Structure 1
Amino acid sequence: MHMAFESCFNVIVSNVLVRAPGFSPNTDGIHVAQTQNIVISDSDIGTGDDCISIVSGSQNVRATDITCGPGHGISIGSLGADNSEAVVSNVVVNRATLTGTSNGVRIKTWQGGSGYARNIKFLNIVMQNVTNPIIIDQNYCDQEKPCHQQSSGVQLSNVLYQNIRGTSASEVAIKFDCSRTVPCREIYLQDVILEPEDGGNGDTVATCQNVRYVNRGKFFPQCTPLRNQRGGRF
């Protein structure tokens, strides 16, 4: 990791330039853990991993005017590894541009964990040729052996995606892969438009599993329910 803030209070990070090759593993740009009241602003980050990673114990995190690429995007998590408890709350990502990244804005949790990630806002974000522009993965499994289905998980709730525009490098521009036993709830989408890169053939799609969402204003692509779908618009 280039910069890590762990067990810190009242942090200001601004005008930071991070550069690592896109193929360099585990080179997170700015890592936030067990930290409260941190503002990251006006920074340009290119790495082989997450541009910004926010993990358990973090509260009142604000990232504004961020440029990200290459890298794995801006991530909350992973949370709940090894059946651990995770808590993350009050995160705002506002005014960011992501270019050529593997993910855009991502929340990732392991099965078997507990706790919550809630009160999260992704606002005013531009995606340029991003492979997974919007993704929630509650079945995250970063290991060689398959991860077995478990009955507990980190609860995700009150997440807002507002004014997110741009292009997806893959067909699936929005992916909500939520837990069967602990579904995502209170997921809000407002003015989200993600189209194929270079006006490619066909349209982008959204896949939504075990999620209850509300869409307001423009929202494209619309969610396509998968097996074991719980929810939809309400």
Structure 2
Amino acid sequence: MKLSAEMKAFAARLGHEFSRPDLLSRAVTHGSISGPMRDDNQRLEFLGDRVLGLVMAEALLEADRAATEGQIAPRFNALVRRETCAEVAREIEIGTVLRLGRSEMKSGGRRKEALLADAMEAVIAAVYLDAGFETARAVVRRLWGDRVKRVEVDARDPKTALQEWAQARGEPPPSYAETAREGPDHAPVFTIEVKLASGPAESATAGSKRQAEQAAAAALLKRVSE
């Protein structure tokens, strides 16, 4: 199988020349276009998630040899979560080579965070199957760059931190409610309100419910901690 010029350019951005181009082709094929004769990237995504996890766990242990498991775990979660994978995917422009069905194309699939993150993990798996763990590790470490060094010492996500703050004071977990949704179906914007049982509340707006919840939690946590 020969790669198109566009796919060759993507492989160059990725930093790996495939001896089995079919792996890369499968890694960027979304389930919306798969058929009896075409494999999508779901199985590769599953494998890539595990490869990424091992690489990041190893990198974090090397970066801070004195850190406890409790300190490393939130940093690990921050490095492998969907948002980070999608961020890296955007940097190497995975969206330009994604193979999508008509419905996903019309709904802006090339920009969807979930699709980008899944494809990023699938591509990692493709590199692993094509050339082994050492090569996959090198590719991941290069793409993630200094994120391992920059990850916050306390990288707990704001929702977790806010819940722990509430529980430490004998309060039930904070509640989240969608108060508004705007924009077209392929690019919705959500407004989420988070509220503590004791009364304080904050709202935030973002392109996904998760991001809006995290932003609202961060704002409320900052408010009650001051």
Measured against the shorter chain, the TM-score band is under 0.3
Greater C-alpha Rg: 2
Please give the TM-score of this superposition, normalised by the length of structure 2.
0.23
Please give the TM-score of this superposition, normalised by the length of structure 1.
0.22
Q: Please identify which structure carries the higher helix content.
A: 2
Q: Please identify which structure carries the higher strand content.
A: 1
The structure whose RCO (Cα within 8 Å, separation 6+) is larger is: 2
